[in-house]
Structure 1
Amino acid sequence: MLRLLALVLTFSSLSHAKPISAEAANAGAASNSASTQGQLATEGTTTYDGVELASIPAAPAVSEVIAAAISQAGWTIVVDSQNTATGNLGTNAIDGNTSTFWHSEYQPVLVPLPHNATIDMKTASLVGSITYLPRQDGQANGRIGEHIIQLSPDGVTYTTVAIGTWIDDATLKTTTFTPFTARYVRIQALSEAGNRGPWSSAAEINVYTAAGAAAPSPVGKGAWVLTVDFPLVPVSIAHEWSTGQILAWSSYTPSSFGGSPGTTTYTATYNPATQLVTQAIITNVDHDMFCEGLSLDFNGRIIATGGNTDAATSSYDPTANDWTAEANLNIPRGYQAQATTSNGNLFTIGASWSGGQGGKNGELYNPTANTWTELAGCPVAPMLTADAQGVYRADNHGWLFGWSSGYVFQGGPSKAMNWYLSTETGGQTGVGNRASDTDSMCGNAVMFDAVAGKILTVGGSPDYQDSNSTANAHIITIGTPPATPTVQTIGSMAYARAFANSVVLPDGTVLVVGGQISAVPFSDATSQYTPELFNPATNTFTQVAPISIPRNYHSVAILLFDGTVGNGGGGLCGTCATNHFDMQIWNPPYLYTTSGALATRPIINSISVASVANGGTFSITTNVACTAFSMIRMSSTTHTVNTDQRRIALTPTSTAGTTYTFTVPTDPGVALPGHWMVWALAGGVPSVSMQLQVT
């Protein structure tokens, strides 16, 4: 049993990892992961991103993964069509033979998509994941792309546990979800992965018991309700303000990075309204955007700078659905933080992962003029950590917050804090240490109360890797720059975490999710599966519903437009065992009643303006009386860093029935220019957001 549980935990991360080559079960697989592994092997190095290659866990063989599945003995399957003339029957998908496969009918009748296969396991089990193995005969036709996975205890009522798109290759696909007691498993194929035709096929479909317990009651803990499969590891993710979609990307392949600077970035877009995931390969900007600096500018464009292509800058305009090459950085960088300033420019500093090591002083991007300017008065040296790997890691992932009068506050990850002035030739003022905290690389800092200038900091580790993380938590309160902020040490989290992510919610609470006790890139050892919810009213943390997929190095989390949270990614290490090609969606506790039913949500019927200047007013009209309101800036995040997100609690200046009028903070350092989500709450339950641009 212990061996089975270990395998389940391992293969839950193998959405698209190529198994051991000696396994005939995977003969004919032509995957991106395979080509990536070749590139890694020819680089003449024993390390990958500073990590010993030998220490990165390899994916188990397909046969080993399948052996850990629930026995298919006695199962039956019903498919919408099968190509009887060639013997490609539905039963081939559950016969334990990877050489045979089911194929939808194409002769004498070509049956169009969608296609579906429903398995009756005859007895109910607590199910935690399924694997889908495409046909293994060297042909590609019928590989399932867009899909829906549903489970049922009785064959009548089905619950959707996963949606998304699988990558177009022959490797084993794994979809892991919140444990669910089911007898029936249904896969609906909505597209063919390569768009080669209207057909579907499967060599094997296997089902696995959950390694943990059944999901707890959502009361006070929330619930992980859906897995979204991506055709890549989502290492970076951002809001698209004009579409309500979420854009994610990896690197120049879907499952790895490294090597010479590329000219390609693999992207995927998740549409919550249609529950579809579409993919695109970006080549027109000659930019491999992995490891980039990332933020949203005042027009809501996604601005990605440096990274694997270390001097490039690219912008994505969601209204045009198009990437554009912008002016190059003056100082090549990778792993930098980047923040929007009060005057609408973008400030970046640090990042010796690429472009040479050291001297990564601050520079400023003017989105209107499309120019970069070095800031001689913004040295990186004061914000370095004492990392064991030196400056290569010591200047990474700064915790930056745009503030008043063009100042940017740096609250970490070094224990030293600084103000940086982004106007004219720049300036720097040291303002002491973050109380008694250690250097906290790959920890989190979230501005949960921008009006009061309050920032929550949690976790991290003294060194980037091979270092034990902490459970430390502090509240930094910043005021008029360059004054010294106050730092309050609060009760620690229950769990130490590095590589975790944090998301501020409409009610002012903050979700801290994922991470591991010992910071080891590309490892899921010592993973923390129990997220924690910070309550600013009491400065305490509460444990909430556990995740079922490890989220560590290269993971992301982001607030969705409906007040749920998406938490995904991790890995990006070629044929390793820790690639996570998915995102899980969490319903926070505020979406449930005390009985565990979904709460009735208030509705914002209208918002008076699409944009408003700092100090201006706007009104919203709701369907019921509401008691609390907030606005949260849309955001982008990669490598635990989200410098965009911040929350402003709104107090009505006037109320007429269910129409409420608000004044946006006058200081553009508090209400940064850009696109915001506006929320109304009734009895603690938030509405779906509406959008407002602060100009």
Structure 2
Amino acid sequence: MATFLSLFSTLLLIRDVVSVSAPIMRSVWTATADSFSQGNEPQKAIDANLNTFWHSQFNPSPDALPNWIIVDMKNTYNIHAVGYLPRQDGSANGRIGGHKIEVSTDGTNWNLAATGTYLNDDIVKKTNFITRTARYVRITATTEAQGSGLQWTSAAEINVYHEVTYDYSSRTGWTASADSQETVSENSPPSKAIDGDPTTLWHTKYNGGVTAPLPHWFQIDSGTQITVGGLSYLPRGSPGNGRIGQYSIQVSNDGNTWTQVATGMWVDTEDEKISLFSATARYFRLNALTEAGNRGQWTTAREINLVRGETEIVPAAPAASKGLWVSTVDFPLVPAAVATLPNGKVLVWSSFSRDDFGGSNGFTQTAIYDPATGESTPRTVTNTNHDMFCPGISMDFNGRIIVTGGSNAAKTSIYDSAADTWTAGPDMKIARGYQSTTTVSDGRIFNIGGSWSGGEGNKNGEIYSPSANTWTLQSGALVSPMQTQDRQGPYRSDNHGWLFTWKSGTVFQAGPSRAMNWYDTTGAGSVTAAGNRGDDGDAMCGNAVMYDAPAGKILTAGGAANYQEDNARTNAYVITIGATKQNPQVTRVPNMAFARGFANGVALPDGTVFVTGGQSYVKPFTDTTAQFTPELFNPATNTWTQLNPMSIARTYHSVAILLPDATILQGGGGLCGGCGVNHLDAEIFVPPYLLNADGTRRARPVINTVTATARLGATLSITTNSAVTRFALLRSGSATHTVDTDQRRIPLTPSGSGTTYTVTIPSDPGVALPGFWFLFALNSAGTPSVAKIIKITT
């Protein structure tokens, strides 16, 4: 049985038995659908033939969306991914856009595994999710990817994946040959693909400007007949030149007469691929028909193995006391930047490309994600002439998202969700990328650092006035006091400042340098030293979260002395700021269990802080040393708790943000073209405060009424459906590159009883920063309501 896609959670090290993520054999599967056309029956989606496909009925009239297809695997498996290959005949009709994926053990009761939106192209899609027990998988197409209102659905191939241990054939006595080899510019003969060393590779000829054209073949002579259940292929890492896309596999007993046993298409990543089949033969030939990234006519392989057998791994059931990862969200891009909007939806974007960055291209791939449907509406933003990769992000008092710099380093772009429009703002006075911005107490937006683009060094402060639509330099707001001692110098040392708006127009800089500072944004600006962050060192790409704004409490965690190629740390501190321009109190708290750089921190309604993702050795565009287990810091008990692990690595270019229903959206990572670690998705985490001991959802309080707009210092009247003990305000967040200067939490103690309460909003705009906030009610068990979104005004 052929396969077209297999992504492994970790790179394979050559050994006899390994744990991998692999496709399930489809030889006994059946498929049904709500609709099909003659000649395009649902079984065509599981027939191992890329040239056939299932298509919903379209003649004489289409069966309107949604359309669904169900595969019955005949046996129950512990599955964690579904692969979808659009039709391969050159037509775009029926490509799935909006979708949901559900699983079932009985074909009647269905469990949601994923929602989302696939991009309109013909490459393979793979949706990962937390392992679930299932016999049946249902894919429901809710929209057609072309976005033209077309009412049909198609699929060339569907695969399902589980985690197994594989027994690999011994390679003693093997020889390898190929149609082409490069031995001049590099020594890459076929033998390098069976030498047990994943740092070497076979490469077809390219020296002297003479490139051997596709197709290519690679052949194993095992020396004697052996029985195998499949072939494994480990592609090269970055750069990805020569990764195999479409392939076929043949076997022979004499080396002359060949029988095809598998065909398919592999995705353009560095993870190992498996193609399953059953054959007894001496010779095995892998034919490379296309290059996975359409980069050229060459083919490469780090290692090729033959598979003897497999054993499924049954994971331990997650404990509800540690929260649950409940579903995956597929995006049409890598969400390297994110902002929650006043309407409860989420703005995400990548760069000029959905999965790559580079240059100054003057446009950006964006999408609006709707948590209510799980789907995204993509949009290419061209009118601001701004590639918004690696920017500063802040939400102004009116809920507009102000995006600055990045690849187009001087630009400003503004998104207004009320009008659903992007407009160009004025250019900054200093071109920047990797800077941090923060909305200050008078409504202006302070901006500092950012030597990643626009030139290195002297990225002093400037400030944007939304009312005047102007940028003004602040010559006294010097960047030098906040720089780290990064080995790469200013290019890295002024990146991703931890900025917190405070009273009287001041901004507290908590890191990532060990030196802390106060910035005064009045007049020409100024900077005042605020001491060191205890015994911490520089903590680039660590986290800082204001979890109690009235008390001035900030948690910092993790980070590394250098931006890349360095060990991250477990250090954690609580900083308490009070009077402006005075040294804060710094208290070292227990370390995290896991060292993290490139992680994300999220303030939660109950006052805890969720820290997730990252890696212990920071190296951009890699998932090695990824940390899969989130941790929860409880300031009341001064403890960290390890939570259930996620299924997808979230390292460099990942994001995490609080949603209005008090769950967390964590996604992204990669955005590096053919690097093999692009994650065009997110996972939804349900914190323990929403779960009963058996994993079912707790009954939640409901906010029945509250005013939609309130002034600073005002008293809010709130009614609920049941008794509550406290309330919390959390400002709408925005995140990129570990930084979220918008989020902060205000705990509110209510007056009243029964179901009628009043709370008072702090009167200082440096604490209750005007803008849009989530208002949560919490009961005595600490269970939060779904938020009401309110606007705090001056």
Show the counterpart of 2:161: 208
Structure 1's 6 and 168: CA in aligned 2 closer, same or farther, altered over 3 A?
closer
Show the counterpart of 1:81: 35
For the 8 Å contact 1:499–1:519, the answer to whether it is kept is: yes
| AA partner of residue 244 (structure 1) | G
Structure 1's 67 and 659: CA in aligned 2 closer, same or farther, altered over 3 A?
closer
Show the counterpart of 1:533: 632
Give the secondary-structure state (helix, strand or coil) at the position aligned to 1:499.
Answer: strand
Show the counterpart of 2:261: none
Residue 538 (structure 2) pairs with residue 585 (structure 1): no
Give the secondary-structure state (helix, strand or coil) at the position aligned to 1:551.
Answer: coil
Q: Which one has more relative contact order, counting CA pairs under 8 Å at least 6 apart?
A: 1
Show the counterpart of 2:234: none
Aligned residue among 317, 331, 355 for 1:230: 331
Aligned residue among 409, 417, 422 for 1:318: 417
Show the counterpart of 1:71: 25
Give the secondary-structure state (helix, strand or coil) at the position aligned to 1:351.
Answer: coil
Aligned residue among 601, 612, 617 for 1:518: 617
Show the counterpart of 1:407: 506
| AA partner of residue 8 (structure 2) | V
After superposition, where does 1:245-256 map in structure 2 within 5 Å? 245-256=345-356
| AA partner of residue 649 (structure 1) | P
Structure 1's 67 and 339: CA in aligned 2 closer, same or farther, altered over 3 A?
closer
Show the counterpart of 1:667: 764
1:587-629: CA deviation from partner (whole Å, max 9, x where unpaired): 110001233321100000000x322222221111111110121
Structure 1 residues not aligned, in runs of 5+: 12-56, 58-65
Structure 2 residues not aligned, in runs of 5+: 13-19, 165-312
Give the secondary-structure state (helix, strand or coil) at the position aligned to 1:514.
Answer: strand
| AA partner of residue 475 (structure 2) | A
- Residue 567 of structure 1 and its aligned partner are, at CA, apart by 0.3
1:272-325: CA deviation from partner (whole Å, max 9, x where unpaired): 223322111111111111111001111111110111111111111111111111
Show the counterpart of 2:709: 611
The sequence identity of aligned pairs, in percent, is 54
Q: Take 1:94 and 1:162, find their aligned partners in 2: how far apart are those partners?
A: 20
For the 8 Å contact 1:216–1:545, the answer to whether it is kept is: no
Structure 1's 606 and 267: CA in aligned 2 closer, same or farther, altered over 3 A?
same
1:369-403: CA deviation from partner (whole Å, max 9, x where unpaired): 11111111111001111111111111100000000
Higher percent of residues as strand = 2
For the 8 Å contact 2:517–2:531, the answer to whether it is kept is: yes
After superposition, where does 1:370-409 map in structure 2 within 5 Å? 370-409=469-508
Q: Take 1:214 and 1:602, find their aligned partners in 2: how far apart are those partners?
A: 34
Give the secondary-structure state (helix, strand or coil) at the position aligned to 2:335.
Answer: coil
Q: Take 1:551 and 1:621, find their aligned partners in 2: how far apart are those partners?
A: 39
Show the counterpart of 2:216: none
Give the secondary-structure state (helix, strand or coil) at the position aligned to 1:590.
Answer: helix
Show the counterpart of 1:155: 107
Q: Take 1:421 and 1:215, find their aligned partners in 2: how far apart are those partners?
A: 52
Aligned residue among 387, 390, 410 for 1:291: 390
Show the counterpart of 1:138: 90
| AA partner of residue 761 (structure 2) | V
For the 8 Å contact 1:292–1:306, the answer to whether it is kept is: yes
Aligned residue among 267, 272, 275 for 2:366: 267
- Residue 344 of structure 1 and its aligned partner are, at CA, apart by 1.1
For the 8 Å contact 1:556–1:569, the answer to whether it is kept is: yes
Q: TM-score, normalised by structure 2?
A: 0.78
1:148-175: CA deviation from partner (whole Å, max 9, x where unpaired): 1000011110111101100111111110
For the 8 Å contact 1:218–1:592, the answer to whether it is kept is: no
Show the counterpart of 1:24: none
| AA partner of residue 257 (structure 1) | F
For the 8 Å contact 1:249–1:267, the answer to whether it is kept is: yes
Please, which moves more after superposition, 96-105 or 369-378? 96-105
Please, which moves more after superposition, 193-202 or 422-431? 193-202
After superposition, where does 1:230-629 map in structure 2 within 5 Å? 230-241=331-342, 243-259=343-359, 261-607=360-706, 609-629=707-727
Q: Take 2:648 and 2:534, find their aligned partners in 1: how far apart are those partners?
A: 34
Structure 1's 395 and 577: CA in aligned 2 closer, same or farther, altered over 3 A?
same
Please, which moves more after superposition, 522-531 or 215-224? 215-224
For the 8 Å contact 1:8–1:208, the answer to whether it is kept is: no
For the 8 Å contact 2:35–2:57, the answer to whether it is kept is: yes
For the 8 Å contact 1:346–1:364, the answer to whether it is kept is: yes
Q: Take 1:299 and 1:469, find their aligned partners in 2: how far apart are those partners?
A: 38
Give the secondary-structure state (helix, strand or coil) at the position aligned to 2:45.
Answer: helix
Q: Take 1:614 and 1:275, find their aligned partners in 2: how far apart are those partners?
A: 34
Q: Take 2:558 and 2:770, find their aligned partners in 1: how far apart are those partners?
A: 29
Q: Take 2:89 and 2:75, find their aligned partners in 1: how far apart are those partners?
A: 32
| AA partner of residue 345 (structure 2) | Q
Structure 1's 321 and 636: CA in aligned 2 closer, same or farther, altered over 3 A?
same
Q: Take 1:492 and 1:605, find their aligned partners in 2: how far apart are those partners?
A: 40
Q: Take 1:520 and 1:67, find their aligned partners in 2: how far apart are those partners?
A: 24
Q: Take 1:622 and 1:108, find their aligned partners in 2: how far apart are those partners?
A: 53
1:499-519: CA deviation from partner (whole Å, max 9, x where unpaired): 110101000011111000110
1:421-456: CA deviation from partner (whole Å, max 9, x where unpaired): 011111101112111112111110000011110100
* Aligned Cα root-mean-square deviation (Å): 1.8
Please, which moves more after superposition, 107-116 or 339-348? 107-116
Give the secondary-structure state (helix, strand or coil) at the position aligned to 1:92.
Answer: helix
Show the counterpart of 1:15: none
Residue 320 (structure 2) pairs with residue 219 (structure 1): yes
For the 8 Å contact 2:7–2:21, the answer to whether it is kept is: no
For the 8 Å contact 1:511–1:532, the answer to whether it is kept is: yes
Structure 1's 7 and 267: CA in aligned 2 closer, same or farther, altered over 3 A?
closer
Aligned length: 633
Aligned residue among 27, 46, 49 for 1:94: 46
Q: Take 2:316 and 2:531, find their aligned partners in 1: how far apart are those partners?
A: 44
Please, which moves more after superposition, 493-502 or 102-111? 102-111
Show the counterpart of 1:633: 731
The structure with the largest alpha-carbon Rg is 2
- Residue 568 of structure 1 and its aligned partner are, at CA, apart by 0.4
Q: Take 1:642 and 1:332, find their aligned partners in 2: how far apart are those partners?
A: 21
- Residue 67 of structure 1 and its aligned partner are, at CA, apart by 10
Structure 1's 489 and 162: CA in aligned 2 closer, same or farther, altered over 3 A?
same
Please, which moves more after superposition, 614-623 or 637-646? 614-623
